[in-house]
Structure 1
Amino acid sequence: MAYTGEVKDSGPQTRELSRLTVTKVSVGPMDNNAYLLRCTSTGEQVLIDAANDAATLLALVGPSGLARVATTHQHGDHWQALAEVVAATSARTTAGADDVAGIPVPTDEPLVDGASVPVGDCTLEAIHLVGHTPGSIAYLYEDPDGIAHVFTGDSLFPGGVGNTRGNKANFESLIGDVSRKLFDRLPDSTWVYPGHGNDTTLGAERPSLPAWRARGW
């Protein structure tokens, strides 16, 4: 099956990059996206958001094991399966330093802006986006042989930034961080993998930034 990023009804889909494979699956009653990244040269794997359905996630991981679980933020629907996945795999855990207190599974590697998360011979960069939660992290993979890929959790979706629950200061922080750290830095071709729903690109969303600012959410 060709990768479309629409996995709610299709089951897992895998995208093969030159040095990394990305498998996306929807889990749990809130249709959270989880992403299994595998380095093609070493076989090392990292899971972004052990959101729910531990059995589904562990079946994706398979016998190759799991080096890390990288959590995007502290909201409970993004870590319901974290304890079970860690217990089964002995994976290390990463999350934004400012969200660690809200995640009941200990975080082995608290992340700050610009921190590196290895996936075998590949590297993810932690991008701290404040607003949806204090410590939300987007994980950026800049493919040396292709486009950039960013896993945004609940900070950026098709159609807007994440929910800031009517808090003006949090919205201004989030739209500012997303604008500066993603849209101002990365090209239109950058592929966006959100915490729920379908994928998008920065190019598809960029024209809407003024409208998002004007509506305030």
Structure 2
Amino acid sequence: MIVERSLDPRWLSNTWLVGDRPGGHGVLIDTGGPMEPILAAIEAHRLTVTHVLCTHHHHDHVTHNADYKQRFDCPICGHAAEAELFGDLDRELAAGEELRSGDLVLRALHIPGHTEGQLAFLVNESRVFTGDTLFKGSVGGTRAPGHGTFEELRESVMGTLMALPHGTLVNPGHVDETTIGAEWESNPFVRAWRGVDDLRDEPCTAFGQPARLLVEARDYDGGTKCQVRFEESGALDLVPGSRVKR
């Protein structure tokens, strides 16, 4: 399998090129990274691009959708729940739906939370592209436009992604690759949700509201991500550490 990446220096968002073999077929997963490295890799590997696959609708993941569609005459694919937010979907995908690109078999996994229509793409049962749901050492937030709930995101991580074999490679929507096994063992959120590590339960404010800080971890951008419980409502949330004060 061929896997190439382009990383946007502002948003740290990835465009992934996945191909079956040199001279074969491939897909693009998210398009927020610069085009030049991806176009060079497509040419070097002599790939025919068959699909643009979108994990979700946020601007840092769809920047070059139209450019790739025009260049390769390939459909833009994403979850039906976000069709209106994309505005340019050619194919609406459902949970569990499979696509083929040459020798690649890609299965769409619905992993709501960061957004309601968030998708992961499991490729040949060995590598999963997780968008903004699971990162190396962290997880996605539940405050971005079109977000779902904390409970949805936790279930997407624990019930869907962590159910994959531990050797499965993870290619996230931002920065570096990891594995399911590595995140099972070392991701602070996963460890807390497994019951391995105790919750911190420290007083704080989040977005100016009284809350309890339960989990804090280094995030992909060098900041932190926090799980909090709001005092008044009891609601759980995943928020940027910059919005948490102690």
Which of the five TM-score ranges fits, normalised by the shorter chain? 0.7 to 0.9
In structure 1, runs of 5+ residues without a counterpart are 1-19
**Of 161, 177, 180, the match for 2:156:** 177
Query: 2:70 is matched with which residue?
Result: 87
TM-score, with normalisation over the residues of structure 2? Answer: 0.71
Query: 1:204 is matched with which residue?
Result: 182
- Between 1 and 2, higher relative CO (CA 8 Å, sep ≥ 6) is seen in 1
In structure 2, runs of 5+ residues without a counterpart are 200-214, 216-226, 228-237, 239-246
**Of 124, 130, 143, the match for 1:142:** 124
Q: Structure 2 vs 1, CA of residues 177 and 81 (structure 1 numbering), >3 Å: closer, same or farther?
A: same
Distance in 1, Cα, partners of 2:49 & 2:124: 21
**Of 39, 43, 52, the match for 2:20:** 39
TM-score, with normalisation over the residues of structure 1? Answer: 0.80
For 1:33-112, what aligned pairs fall within 5 Å after superposition?
33-40=14-21, 43-62=24-43, 64-104=47-87, 106-112=88-94
**Aligned-pair Cα RMSD in Å:** 2.3
Structure of greater Rg: 2
Contact 1:126-1:137 within 8 A present in 2 as well: yes
1:52-74: CA deviations, max 9, x gaps?
42344333322643111101101
Distance in 1, Cα, partners of 2:8 & 2:79: 22
Q: Structure 2 vs 1, CA of residues 169 and 41 (structure 1 numbering), >3 Å: closer, same or farther?
A: closer
1:86-144: CA deviations, max 9, x gaps?
1111111111111221113x21221111001212122011000111011010000235x
Query: 1:195 is matched with which residue?
Result: 173
What percent of counterpart residues are identical? 33
Q: Structure 2 vs 1, CA of residues 194 and 204 (structure 1 numbering), >3 Å: closer, same or farther?
A: same
Q: CA deviation at 1:189?
A: 1.1
Answer 1 or 2: which has greater strand percent: 2
